Structure 1
Amino acid sequence: MQQLKNKVIWITGASGGIGEALAYAFSKEGARLVLTARNAEKLEVIAEKCRQSGVEVLVVPLDVTDLMALEQAAKEVQEIMKQVDVLVLNAGRSQRSLAVETPLSIDRTLMELNFFSPVALTKALLPGMLERKAGHLVVISSLAGKFGVPRRTAYCSSKHALQGFYEALRAELAATPVQVTILSPGRIQTEISLHALNRDGQEHGTMDKGQLDGMPVELCAAKILSAVKNNRKDVLIGRKELIMYYIHKWWPGLYYRLIPNIQ
């Protein structure tokens, strides 16, 4: 089992939801944290709570879709913290709109945030991990990266791309000590549906019932923590919604009948 005490863990999308819950969970393990999101004020509040566990926390406010700024941040973090042991790629956004009504700009926006930014940060930090012969890439994907869900075409596409990239990367790294863990949460009690983009590029502004009835975010974070410590490869996280994954896999005909009604 991997021990996280004094390990440097960089979490993107750390200003709320799963990212915030992971910051608290990792701080209790004694990890040194790097927290990134656009909202510097929220990050500072979260960082202060984490410091109460007696750990070092570096706050790096950043728009991860600004790839030049992201590359510069990677250099600065490595200079300050000396290394990054665990990279948690959590920043992301969902969607609530029909494909036929959604301009291509929304698809591009979600791909930039959900796919290209984690890949860019991975490419910036992976050489250092390989040189040190140690490192762990932790990818927060989604159950929507396993099968398609209506009104989330761009989101599903970005998460399928994420799944494919990191599965292939894991195979490329098989002969090295660098680990890759892909987590696929289902319905979790976060504000993801509130901040999902609609066809106009505005926030959806509605909390989906699935989110309200979903798994508490603290429990989700605990399961991710366990997966990281045990070097798990690919983990589904959720409750009854996970059954759709198995229906899609084993009974595709039933899946095709059920999926149009999923909200």
Structure 2
Amino acid sequence: MKNYFSGKTVWITGASSGIGEALAYALGAEGAQLILSSRRTDELERVRKGCTNPGQVRILPLDLVDMASLPGKTAEAIALFGHIDVMVHNGGISQRSLVVDTALDVHRRVMELDYFSYIELTRLLLPHFLERKTGHFVVTSSVMGKLGTPLRSAYAAAKHALHGYFDCLRAEVAHAGVQVTILTPGYIRTQIALHAVTKDGTPLGSASENIDHGLDPAVAARQIVRAVSAGRFEVYIGKFGMEVIGLWMARFWPSFVVRQASKYAPK
């Protein structure tokens, strides 16, 4: 039986590493035509060569915070295969700093990349989906899009905003055949913590032990493929552990989660 992604055109941002890279390999193996975007052309080429069928992969270098370039890049992406079926919003940056220390520019930088770039690409691509009466937005949020813990205020704010925006979008376009799947990954073994911005915008430069023990990105990609294929509205991606328990606790016993989170605040 034909799988969900076979023959579909999938545009992935943040495709040069981490979850985006793993998804490129997984979706290529599923028979998808791929458009890979990030700022690093050399890394995109490396990922393209590692795909099952490199001839069905196109590279579209893209700086997500260059908003003026996004209309042209969206038109280029559509032209590469003549249409797009699935948009995977995956580019982003994390943050590690106390609220009291964090400069406003850091909040703006995180929001520009992790929120505004997503909604602008969505706004630009949505008419194409509506005209074709089909399309699927896949949105990489985070457990931090549902919870709040110390040192991640800008990152959590951006991810919370994604849930509000894309829940509204889903309600508006469901009748038109356009789907929305929000991914809430827990700890995945990627470099996101290493590149997280600190209070003045400089990179953290170190990864947490939790990241080191996180889920293999290839396994995460397989979880994502299954969830998107099933048309899930929202899904946790990761190992079963404290993160998924925290999500359930936040839903049914939020006061407990608030008290527990406060224990991790630096003294």
Please report the TM-score for the alignment, with normalisation by the length of structure 2.
Answer: 0.95
1:136, 1:65 → 2: CA distance?
23
With 253-262 and 204-213 compared, the bigger mean Cα shift is at 253-262
Give the counterpart letter for 1:255 in structure 2.
Answer: V
2:44, 2:234 → 1: CA distance?
28
Moved >4 Å (runs of 4+) = none
1:174, 1:236 → 2: CA distance?
22
How far does residue 69 in structure 1 lie from its aligned partner after superposition? Answer: 1.0
Secondary structure of 2:87's partner? strand
Structure 2 alignment gaps of length 5 or more? none
Secondary structure of 1:63's partner? coil
How far does residue 54 in structure 1 lie from its aligned partner after superposition? Answer: 5.4
Secondary structure of 1:10's partner? strand
Give the counterpart letter for 1:187 in structure 2.
Answer: Y
Does the Cα contact within 8 Å between 2:7 and 2:33 map onto a contact in 1?
yes
2:54, 2:40 → 1: CA distance?
23
1:2, 1:183 → 2: CA distance?
20
C-alpha deviations, 1:116-155, integer Å up to 9, x for none?
0011111111101110111000001011000112100000
Distance verdict in 2 for CA 1:171–1:2, change over 3 Å: farther
Where does residue 252 of structure 2 map in the other structure?
250
2:261 to 224, 235, 259: 259
Where does residue 57 of structure 2 map in the other structure?
57
Supply the RMSD in Å over aligned alpha carbons: 1.3
Where does residue 187 of structure 1 map in the other structure?
187
Please report the TM-score for the alignment, with normalisation by the length of structure 1.
Answer: 0.96
Where does residue 18 of structure 1 map in the other structure?
19
Give the fraction of aligned pairs with identical amino acids, expressed as a percent: 44
With 213-222 and 252-261 compared, the bigger mean Cα shift is at 252-261
Where does residue 7 of structure 2 map in the other structure?
6
1:65, 1:161 → 2: CA distance?
17
Structural mapping, 1:199-210, within 5 Å? 199-210=199-210
C-alpha deviations, 1:24-54, integer Å up to 9, x for none?
000001111000001111000001111x435
Structure 1 alignment gaps of length 5 or more? none
Structural mapping, 1:1-263, within 5 Å? 3-50=4-51, 52-53=52-53, 55-238=55-238, 239-240=240-241, 241-262=243-264
